[in-house]
Amino acid sequence: MALAFEKTGKYVSERHESAKKRGLLTAGAAAAKIRKATGSQVSAKQIRQYADEWHHSGFYGGKMGKTWFFFPETVDFLITKF
């Protein structure tokens, strides 16, 4: 797995960086968009089962974390469901 160094000072996978550059939304950003559109109190954890892909997001406590990504179309679909 190749790593990229993010502006935040974390090492993330190159695929993680690629997903961000392609315009995919993280679970947190997707949940915020759903909350804003619907007023529903949805969390990133609640919607990650609908994620289109995930990538390694950096080291946390010695383990590599995951970031869940959503296509904008998937978020628009989820807005109609909440």
Domain count, the chain: 1
**β-pairing, 53-60 with 11-13?**
unpaired
| Dihedral (CA of 15, 17, 22, 26) sign | positive
Walk along the chain (82 residues) and give the pLDDT tens digit of each residue: 555 555 556 677 788 888 999 999 999 999 999 999 999 999 999 999 999 999 988 777 778 789 999 999 999 999 999 8
Model pTM?
A: 0.83
Look at residue 3 and give its three-state secondary structure: strand
> Count H helices, E strands: the chain?
4, 5
Say how far apart CA 3 and CA 18 lie, in whole Å.
11
